Amino acid sequence: MVLFVVNESSGNGRGKKVWAKVEAQLHKRGIEYHTVVSSSQDEAVIRMEELLLTGKMKAVAVIGGDGTLHGLLPLLVASGIPCGLIPAGSGNDTSRALGIPRNPIRALDIILAGHTRRIDVLETTSEQYKSQITLTAVAVGLDGAVAADVNGSGYKRWCNKLGVGSLAYIIGLFRSLAVFKPQSITVTIDGVTHDFTRGWLSAISNVSTYGGGLKICPKALPDDNLLHTCIVHSCSVWRILLIFPTLLNGSHVKQPYVTILSGRSVRIDAPKPFVAFGDGEPSGHTPLIATIVPAQLDFLTEASG
């Protein structure tokens, strides 16, 4: 039996609409299921844990966005139960990385088919956050500041209403650039130290995109046992504005102001703390350490081949 965990407020209410379509389809097909419907993360985790303890749940399907899934990751990893996603958020980078369609009925079909892909997660530690599990990426610096601005904004809600959730990240970029100050940063990959002047951001990725489809680390795969880190550095604010459009197709990696590093462990240091966000949720600030944790989730995806 599949347990559906529904965040009705995800995507400014899109979660509720998506669940209505999915539930109608489940009734039509005569499929038994259990549901946890809540806008409270803590309540959802408690109820989900209770149902998993019954031993009757064969899979968990999350209806929501990257942030919804992020809050459930510790329990999903600990349980070892297969999990799936029916996207209903703003960015939906998890579903994009795993080839899960936005169409809720097609996503439901994938969950019911039961094919899984074993994927990695990344674990971060910082001074305020002892340990946190992230699935997509940890944004450190300017992109973390953008995430903070977007999460605390009213424009995100309107972008979601118009069906252009990724536009919120563009608005957040321009707002953040007006106040953000770059600084020297040190990135240590598997014990090897790299120093950068005028560091703007260090995005630590487990998948190729973040921020609603920006191809920050084009070669990153969720099951390659590596973290891929994109550092943007040594340039002016005007150069940042020129680099930003190239994130849409991943061609920014050709710029001399962009460095891509890969490894199993990453540490980011800066003279003044840079804020960090994992899966679009707060992850503390630098100094920050991230490590890859291979093959932690059986994720329900389309069958390969």
Stretch 223-237: mean pLDDT: 97
Q: Which of 282, 285, 280 lies closest to 268, judged by CA?
A: 285
More confident residue, 38 or 53: 53
More confident residue, 150 or 253: 253
CATH number for the segment(s) 122-295: 2.60.200.40
CA dist list (Å): 302 to 50, 163, 272: 29, 25, 44
Q: What local confidence, expressed as pLDDT, does residue 59 receive? A: 96
Q: Is 253 left (phi over 0), alpha (psi -120 to 50) or beta?
A: alpha
Give dist(CA 113, CA 58) in Å, integer.
12
Q: What local confidence, expressed as pLDDT, does residue 162 receive? A: 60
Stretch 70-94: mean pLDDT: 92
Stretch 188-209: mean pLDDT: 97
298 DSSP assignment? E
Helices (H), the chain: 10-29, 41-52, 66-79, 93-97, 104-113, 142-151, 155-161, 167-177, 237-243
251 DSSP assignment? G
Average pLDDT over the chain, rounded to an integer: 91
Stretch 154-180: mean pLDDT: 76
**What is the phi/psi pair of residue 248, to 5°?**
-65, -30
Query: In the structure, what pLDDT confidence band is assigned to residue 164 with cuts at 50, 70 and 90?
Result: low
- Per-domain residue ranges of the chain: 2-114, 122-295
Amino acid at residue number 248: L
Give dist(CA 150, CA 146) in Å, integer.
6
Please say whether the structural domain 2-114 has been given the CATH code 3.40.50.10330: yes
* 287 upstream amide cis, omega within 30 of 0: yes
| Cβ count near 198 (within 10 Å) | 16
CA dist list (Å): 66 to 81, 260, 280: 18, 24, 7
Stretch 56-83: mean pLDDT: 93
Query: In the structure, what pLDDT confidence band is assigned to residue 233 with cuts at 50, 70 and 90?
Result: very high
Whether residue 89 contacts residue 104, with contact meaning beta carbons closer than 8 Å, is answered with: no
More confident residue, 170 or 131: 131
Give dist(CA 131, CA 1) in Å, integer.
31
**pLDDT tens track for 238-287:** 999 999 899 989 999 999 999 999 999 999 999 999 999 999 889 999 99
Stretch 39-66: mean pLDDT: 88
Residue with tokens 């046992």: 225
Q: What local confidence, expressed as pLDDT, does residue 110 receive? A: 97
